[in-house]
Structure 1
Amino acid sequence: MQSLLRRPIGGNDFVFPAIASTGQLKFGESTSRSAFETLLEEVVEKSDVMKGRNGKFTTHCFRRGGAQYRFLWADRKWSLKAVKWWGGWSSNENVGTLMRYLLDELMAYEEGFSDIMMDDRVIDRHETFMGEDETAPLSKADLRKFEEGIFAKIQGLIGTSASAVSGSLITHASATAPPPSTMRTALPPPPPNRAASPESVASSSPPPPRAAPSRIPETKTLDDALKYWEYGSPQKGLNVPLKNWSSLFKTAEYASEAVKHGNIRFFCEEFQDRCGGNHASFEAKFPGLRGKFTMLMKAVQAERKLRGETKSRSRRKQ
């Protein structure tokens, strides 16, 4: 996500932004339930999980399966309160549904006798949940005691070894050390000071990634159009201002956004060139349309047509 936005993710960014029909992400807009289910069906179909089976995956499957996994089977199990929050169950909702999802599954495991005739069944499994088998998993308390015992032994070994080594080093040093007057320290010559040339630094560093045209966010007002044209909108994924697109990108690179780009350019030219960048003049020319993008677009197109700046399409021959 950060590589697409080309900035750190902020608190107002959506983790699951909406996806346009062109396949580009709609930064600043959250995905809908129907869009997520459509994407889920596509993933399931390509994975062949349901091959030869009837039915389909829904978000409810993940709600129930995720609750069971986090409450019963995960290495770091969640509390019932955390499972309720993530599952979307309100605090004042009846917990009957949640109990069927979680505890009934556990009860079915404990009260099942389908393996009672099997030779390798767990001994005393139905007396305690994990049974009395020696292969049962260790508890946290067991691991903590084991860890403390290991650390105590290691510290004892380190203390004994350190005292023995320090004593032998002192004895050896006093017997073999030469007089201070005979000691000489040969220092290696300093390395030559070779400053890296700008050319070598530039050649070694990889070139920055080239920006790509993104999807133009939804434009609702004149202010939106002016902002996108002059400054862009990094919060919504528009990192490059629209006024720079024609000089930085090829037309084919933003073909899917060409109509939006052209409409916003016409608005900005009308505001800056015809109205001198003055909001009062623009309001006098297009009264009440500053916040009505669709109607403003039609009014600007009509003005351009009166000035002969638009070309009418030739009708096809019948």
Structure 2
Amino acid sequence: MASTTFSCISPPASPQLQPPPANQHRKKGARSTRGVPRSSLGAHQGQDAYLAKQKQLEEAYGKSAKSLATYQRYINQVRGWLADADPPVSYADGLDILGENSEKVCLFFLTHSFERLRAATLRGIYAALQWHFCVEHKCSAHVLSGWQKVGGTWSGNPAFSESILKLLKNKKRAENRERPLVKQSRPMLYPSLAIILAGIHKRLQPFSQLPGTLTAERTKLEFMHCYCILAYRLWTRCDELCKLTWGEIDPVTHVSKEGQKYLSVTLTFRKTNQIDPHKGREYRLFFLPGRPMANALEAVPRWKEYWSWIAARNPTSQDLVFPALHLKTGAFRMKETMGSNEINALLDELADIEGLADLHAGRFTSHCFRRGGAQDAVIYATNYGEQRKSLKAAQWWGGWSPSEHNETIIKYLMDEVRQGEHYCGDMEDTANTDNRALYFAGGATTQYSQDVQAIHQQIAQLNETLAQQTQALQRLASTPQPLPYPLELTLHLPGSAAQPVHIAVPPFPVLPQPPLVTHASAPGSAMPTSWPQQPTAAPALACNGVPHLASTGKPLPMRIPQANSVEDVVQQWEIGDPSIGFLPLRSWTSAMRCKGTGGNAMVFSLRKKIYQAYTKRGKSLRAFYQAYGGSKGMLKDYIRAIQKEARSTADH
């Protein structure tokens, strides 16, 4: 897309600010108290004493005053639980007297709170108990000290006993089992980025006819057009890109030795470099033919021209490339930087307009460009005609510290792909043409290599030929062939050498054919039976994720996979899972929902209820979560809320 020029744009007139009226009654040298609440006027008097007390607490206990107050509140909860116990417990003195009952108090209270509290809250109570025994009874603060009785004296810390540590570990494991696989921001892969950029271009077209108009909408669109492209290409964190200055972008377009143009951007203050301003990394951004919408060579000059028009001057080397915006007027706040909350709000607006919020699971945040750019370069590069980048190159380009483990980066890249794959036992099957990487990246599912296509065509032709020959043989075998009548046998009986004996034998009777019940998944018989069989079609080759078909041409039932979220239910209902040949639930017939195939009838009914509620809310995940208890609930919680809503509607 050709860049829009703003040469004929006249800069908007900046409002004239009037100085505040002078206070004639104020004494010389006195501070004004206008606009300051009376309750806060005396707060400065005790501020020094408060800071001194807080510093004293930190030096004495190594904890802030806020942490100590939280610990004390937890200890009071334990004491209250012991006081209200019915019947009274015999170990209630465990907090005040160090001994065998001290471990019992900690263990029984944590066990009592195991199910009703989250793991983070339970760890906070555990830390409070550990701190209590360290301060009140001078116990050890090292977990390796444990808790044991040596020579009649208890040593260590009751909070470090083996049973308590095992309890906390089990709580952590239980919470990990209930937690969804992906915790990070949803990656902004190129297919989704292209949709957002195309929507921005479409909404900017009316402004090209009115070049002198300044609106907040136009500024936000121009801002996000350049921000999205640079964040996606550079894999930046939000603060790294928001602190980028014009002095770090080379204004001259360079040409490589091969004649390719590129834009030079130097990122200085990344996470791996927060101190040295001379230690920066130069990034060369070329035009990518496979990803033409993410063209930094066009986006940066366009934004610079619009930036100059807004500021009514050319940017200096110290000016921010992406300063904070006045969301109502569209002007800049030059000395302030954008935060992640503002970027997330703009992304939510774009995703809602383009419909991406309902098509994808999760939410796009300011970190989505870093994940999406890294995954497109390392995992899905072949989708765009590029070579996959090595792990070393990804570590350098993404600004990861050399001390970070490779497992961290691999998990960062692979979590999104791991979420969707269920069965991978057929990954070496050359006839399986379903490309999982393309499917889970949001791309097409029909991009295969030429070798795999040729093999698939040959196998399909061979399968068709074998099916025709098998049908012909089965038709021949199933047709009865009566013998001629009468059949005369000439026998030479012993003792009758004179004349042979002629015996007429009737033909063999054609036995009636019993009904056959065949199943496409049943293996063929190893030995011929005495009953002539009906011709059956040869087993069809699984192709393009379609399961085997029965003789009626309809897909056979299969078990409905497990769903961990509403997004999984929507995908199972609308798309299915081509990687395992799972058809969309909306196309299932009554025969495919029979109970004999793993309880599909009830599972299908529950999936249908959730999808109907999702459709009732306009197919918006955000509206669904607002109506049925938030995005962190489980499927059974949503089903209860849906049933409760149905009952209340029926009562009215």
- Structure with max Cα Rg: 2
TM-score by length of 2: 0.17
**Where is the helix percentage greater, Structure 1 or Structure 2?**
1
Higher relative contact order (CA 8 A, sep 6+): 1
